Chains A and B, each alone.
Chain A
Amino acid sequence: MIAHAIFFYTFSIIAVVSAIMVTASKNTVHSVFFLILDFISISCLFIMIGAEFLGMIMLIVYVGAVAVLFLFVVMMLNVAQQKNQWFAAKDSSKHIPVGLLISTLIFVEIIIVIGGWKYKPEIFDINNSITQTSISNTHSLGRILYTDYIHIFQISGMILLVAMIGAIVLTFRQRSGVKRQSYIKQISRERAEGVEVIEVGTNKGVRIDD
């Protein structure tokens, strides 16, 4: 049990400190790296409570894909400078009330959920099959996700798909005047189309049109 407690407190302290550092560090790229550290320690916590599948999926999806895209955007747009300016500027105090309001709301929500779960556990339907220890965590997740909650699962998948298509439609634009490369054309080019043998007359030269 001591080892368990040591591991738990190590991971949770790292998670909390890095979450604070995400907002506190001045360099945006450092913020993203702290966010990644946060994700990793959270997934370690998931593994510690026995939700190994969730922990690994957290690593694959958030750290392996989402955070890479964050890093991309931050590095490409040079947001680092903007954040510094924002910190230095006077008008940053205008955003503080909004931020406070949102964080208070999130805090109250968490209190309600955790309080309800602690004092009225029968309201929450989490104790049915996940906690069976005879089968592995992945199996039990699959069992309830694809039976009891199949509709919710499918609908969330559809929402993600629609969001993805929407993002593509919003950002896709057909620019004119761009030379596109067509693979079929490039591969199926024959010698006859590419090379031409011309009899060049003296003092005439060759006229090349493209």
Chain B
Amino acid sequence: MEYISIVFEEVYKILFLLVPVLVSVAMIVWLDRRIWAFVQKRQGPNVVGPFGLLQSLADALKYIFKEMIIPSSSNKLIFILAPIVTMTLALIAWAVIPFGATQVLADINVGILYLFAVSSLGVYGIIMGGWASNSKYPFLGAIRSAAQMVSYEVSIGVIIINVLLCVGSLNLNDIVTAQQSMWFVIPLFPMFVIFFISALAETNRPPFDLPEAEAELVAGYQTEYSGMMYAMFWLGEYANILLMCAMGAILFLGGWLSPLEVFPFTLIPGAIWLILKILLLFFLFALVKAIVPRYRYDQLMRLGWKVFLPFSLIWVVLTASYLFYFNLLPVN
């Protein structure tokens, strides 16, 4: 009986987290297209609903009612598993995101490692989809994407080490509360920039959208997908983008902390501040998509391995020696 009540309570909490995430993914697609359009002096989707807000809903309906085509020469089980894996991994990571001092689904000790592990598993959805399609373009796209995500994971890992040096804990709530006096974006600003660019590469966003570069690879690993399976890839991708924005907000922008600890700001709950920070980062993501041309593949690899990795490693040494010299190392 006790177990059943625990299960119900947890399911209720999970639904309360996941439904807003899914709805905001739909909204964020609309926002992305609108920002993209405004930069190019277009209107963007503005017909369905007020300001075109229901555009994503209409798109989703269209995807649901379309036929799912499974290529006859594909590996059917893995072909169907791939979008499921992408979507699931994009959603389970939200379990550890803290929306307030106590508003977190799973307050685990190694929260940041969990986030990092889940985001590094995200590559499997793409590889599985690309391989199981048994076709040239998806395979090339999958290989490109796997190499790209593994490379940029390395620099994201080193950047996380930088932040952890200043915090002294792997718990996400501890990371947020350590920024009470100053957000890490100020002392670690170069790391924030590198994190942002690596997050773009990690989520296959322009200018690093080589896995689905439409001029060369049709649609990359998604070429053979249609209907709801395509929509799941697409939802998973945007959920991952939101997750990366949330990670950036927690690591560098103070998570659910308000920017100033004075009267009118403290009235607003922490969840709102976190959402505002996520939206700010997402706005930057959308702007970058609109104004930067696509990278060449060798330039992308060079940027990851020869520029970001050495720079962030040197910054780890600098941060560690600064903290050690001024006796600021967090000891507990």
Contacts and interface: CB of A to CB of B under 8 A. Distances in A.
Interface string A124-165: 000000000000111100000000000000000000000000
A59 interface: yes
B153 A64 contact: yes
Interface of B: 3, 78, 108-110, 113-114, 116-117, 120-121, 123-124, 127-128, 131, 139, 143, 146, 150, 153, 157, 170, 298-299, 302, 332
A19 interface: no
Given A36-B124, A68-B127, A75-B131, A53 B153 contact: no
A33 B110 contact: no
Given A56-B110, A59-B117, A65 B153 contact: yes
Interface in A158-187: 181, 183
Contacts of B123: 64, 68
A13 interface: no
A57 interface: yes
A33 B117 contact: no
Nearest to A54: B110
A139 B157 CA distance: 19
A56 B114 contact: yes
A139 B331 CA distance: 10
A60 interface: yes
Contacts of B114: 56
A64 B298 contact: no
A36 B128 CA distance: 12
A8 B106 CA distance: 20
18 contacts: A33-B78, A36-B124, A52-B108, A56-B113, A56-B116, A59-B117, A60-B117, A63-B117, A64-B123, A65-B120, A65-B150, A68-B150, A71-B127, A71-B131, A71-B146, A75-B127, A138-B110, A183-B299
A24 B128 CA distance: 20
A86 interface: no
A53 B121 contact: no
Contacts of A75: 127, 131, 139, 143
Interface in A9-66: 29, 33, 36, 52-53, 56-57, 59-60, 63-65
A63 B3 CA distance: 32
Given A33-B78, A75-B131, A183-B302, A60 B120 contact: yes
Interface size class for chain A? 20 to 34
Contacts of A56: 110, 113-114, 116-117
A65 B150 CA distance: 7
B120 A64 contact: yes
Contacts of B121: 59, 63-64
A72 interface: yes
Given A56-B116, A64-B123, A64-B153, 19 more contacts: A29-B131, A33-B128, A52-B109, A53-B110, A53-B170, A56-B113, A56-B117, A59-B121, A60-B157, A63-B117, A64-B120, A64-B121, A65-B120, A68-B127, A71-B127, A71-B131, A72-B143, A75-B131, A75-B143
A70 B78 CA distance: 17
B113 to A, nearest CB: 4
Given A64-B117, A68-B127, A181 B298 contact: yes
A3 interface: yes
A137 B113 contact: no
Contacts of A72: 143, 146
A136 B120 CA distance: 24
Nearest to B303: A183
A29 B124 CA distance: 13
A92 B114 CA distance: 42
A53 B110 CA distance: 7
A60 B299 CA distance: 26
Contacts of A139: 332
A136 B157 CA distance: 21
Nearest to B117: A59
B150 to A, nearest CB: 6
